[in-house]
Amino acid sequence: MAISSPVSYREIKSASGRVFRVGEDPKDILGRSRGYMIWLPWLAMMAAGIFEYAYGSAVDTLQSAYGWSDTSTFALAGVWGFFQAGVALPAGRLREKNILPARTAMLTGAVFCLIAFVTVGNTSNIVINIFGYSVLGGIGAGLVYATCINITGKWYPEKKGGPVGFMDGGFAYGSVPFIFIFSYWFSVGDHRLVLTGVGIFMLVLMGGCGWFFKDPPRNWWPAEIDPETWVKNRATGKNVSKNPPAAKQFSWSEAMRTWQIYVLWAALVMTSGVSFFGISFESSYAKEAGFAVYVAALSAALLAFVNGTGRGFTGWLSDRLGRKETLILICVVLGLAQFGVGWAGATRNEALFFVFAIISGFGGGAFYPMFAIITPDYFGENYNASTYGTVYSGKVIGAVLTPFGAAFVDAFGYSATYILAGSIGLVSALLVLTLRQPKGDRGVDGPGRIVEAAAEVPTQVPSADSQAGPASMTEE
């Protein structure tokens, strides 16, 4: 039987119209500390990244087992990327309407990921694989990725950089063990068993973590941090002036009427396109350059590992240096690294290839959490599932560009293609340079002064035997 207990909160409004809902402890909502909304999404993301970062290491065995051409093999990756990024916006809209709660999104994504790996492990039919692996697998991984990104940001509205960056890192370095499995212990004789096992692993990890997911109420703010003193940069001593909170909670339609969201989208198109190119072709370039097999495997593993750890580091750095400044730095590093990889391969220098692979891996992942963090900083947390879903949909174009990258390699060679990729990375930095935070209704950059308070309102907290798990509430 559920036991109700009153939990009071108050809503305080800033001069620009932003509302802060203060007074509820995370344990009143989750039944546990909000730290679980870092660690559980982190674990789930470690499984989701297998699609993107380990697929290239499995390509040779899949082609040997099924007789697939390069076109067919990379078409699967391109279609997967299209749906993985494309599902973020519609899923976000459904989540904000409470049609697709966080737990439901995670469980659905886990089942779809299982179907994807069972499909690719048991049939060579390319049409069936496009639907089972690329479409369903892309939707499944996209649901998991978008849900994890949004839920961590909502639970840490006062310091999104570090928590979101750390959690997002799991998407990349969680795939490292599987890169070595696919490189050394994955053969035509056991590919069905291995791929089916990977699918089961993803189902258990994603579904088990997602079972405990729950969003905070809209406008929720940690009770121990006073919004007014935090905004004035007195309570924590951090340089909040570099990352002022959103002037207000922009609805999706309001965000779509700003020019900033389109600049963010275009910048993500460019950076994700460069990142996809590095992930997809670095191993192939190493082999084409005549490097040993271990160079291809180890460089792919280093790329994924540094890609993941770089996400956490840049999230932390952005809390201190500033979101925009950090994102510009990452875009520059990403672009310059492509020149370095191309040069190292052309000169057959294995040591430099490793070095630039590491730098490329850092830049090729670090921008993702930065877009995830800067979007709610610009538009607020309440509708972030939709606003970030819109920005993240730029990855759709980046994924679609992968086959064009292969065609460019065929026509002009790796060196010229890496020069093009590096140039695109630098152009994205110039684009980010134009950004500034949107203003609220009253033309105030940032929350401004707290001007009014709402009366305390009781809410109810069901007991541990309710539907959403221990001490949960109906999801807002």
Interhelix angle 137-155/36-48, rounded to 10 degrees, is 160
**Which pairs count as long-range contacts for 67-76, CB under 8 Å and 24+ apart, including other chains?**
67/124, 68/124, 68/126, 70/406, 71/403, 71/406, 72/126, 74/280, 74/402, 74/403, 74/406, 75/126, 75/130, 75/134, 75/403, 76/120, 76/126, 76/129, 76/130, 76/133, 76/134
Quick one: pLDDT band at residue 230, thresholds 50, 70, 90?
A: low
Span 95-104, average pLDDT: 88
Least confident range from 263-267, 408-412, 455-459: namely: 455-459
Q: Which pLDDT value is given to residue 474?
A: 30
Q: Which pLDDT value is given to residue 384?
A: 85
Q: For all residues of the chain together, what is the average pLDDT?
A: 82
- What is the SS3 assignment for 322? coil
Beta bridge partners of 19: 13
Q: Which pLDDT value is given to residue 440?
A: 67
Residue 95 in contact with residue 87, Cβ under 8 Å?
A: no
Highest mean pLDDT among 139-153, 286-300, 442-456: 139-153
Least confident range from 59-68, 289-298, 385-394: namely: 289-298
Amino acid at 378: Y
Quick one: pLDDT band at residue 241, thresholds 50, 70, 90?
A: low
Top pLDDT among 449 and 409 is at 409
Quick one: pLDDT band at residue 195, thresholds 50, 70, 90?
A: very high
Angle formed at CA 96 by CA 90 and CA 101, multiple of 5 degrees: 90
Residue 261 structure tokens: 């969201």
Q: Is the pTM of this model over 0.95?
A: no
Residue 71 in contact with residue 174, Cβ under 8 Å?
A: no
Task: At 10, give phi and psi (nearest 5°).
Answer: -130, 155
Asked if residue 357 has pLDDT above 90, the reply is no
Q: What CATH superfamily is the domain 19-225+242-439?
A: MFS general substrate transporter like domains (1.20.1250.20)
Residue 61 in contact with residue 189, Cβ under 8 Å?
A: no
**For the chain, percent of residues with pLDDT exceeding 70:** 84
Asked if residue 416 has pLDDT above 50, the reply is yes
Quick one: pLDDT band at residue 466, thresholds 50, 70, 90?
A: very low
Give the CB-side neighbour count of residue 307, counting CA atoms within 13 A. 29
Q: Which pLDDT value is given to residue 471?
A: 33
Highest mean pLDDT among 36-40, 401-405, 464-468: 36-40
Least confident range from 182-191, 303-312, 372-381: namely: 303-312
CA gap 248, 378 in Å, rounded: 9
CA gap 467, 188 in Å, rounded: 44
Q: Which pLDDT value is given to residue 158?
A: 81
Span 404-412, average pLDDT: 78
CA gap 175, 58 in Å, rounded: 12
Residue 48 in contact with residue 141, Cβ under 8 Å?
A: yes
Residue of 148, 141, 85 whose CA lies nearest to 110: 141
Q: Locate the DSSP E strands across 219-304.
A: 220-221
Quick one: pLDDT band at residue 475, thresholds 50, 70, 90?
A: very low
Distances from the Cα of 176 to the Cαs of 188, 193, 207, 212, in angstroms?
Answer: 21, 19, 21, 26
Amino acid at 152: T
Distance of CA 321 to the CA centre of its chain: 21
pLDDT tens track for 140-151: 999 999 899 889
Residue 15 in contact with residue 444, Cβ under 8 Å?
A: yes
Q: Which pLDDT value is given to residue 369?
A: 85
Give the CB-side neighbour count of residue 23, counting CA atoms within 13 A. 15
- What is the SS3 assignment for 185? coil
Task: At 124, give phi and psi (nearest 5°).
Answer: -95, -5
Kindly list the domain boundaries of the chain, sorted by start residue: 19-225+242-439
Amino acid at 174: G
CA gap 313, 292 in Å, rounded: 31
Instruction: State the virtual CA torsion across 439, 443, 445, 450 in degrees, nearest 10.
Output: -120
Span 458-472, average pLDDT: 36
Quick one: pLDDT band at residue 283, thresholds 50, 70, 90?
A: low
Span 127-144, average pLDDT: 96
CA gap 175, 385 in Å, rounded: 25
Span 290-307, average pLDDT: 71
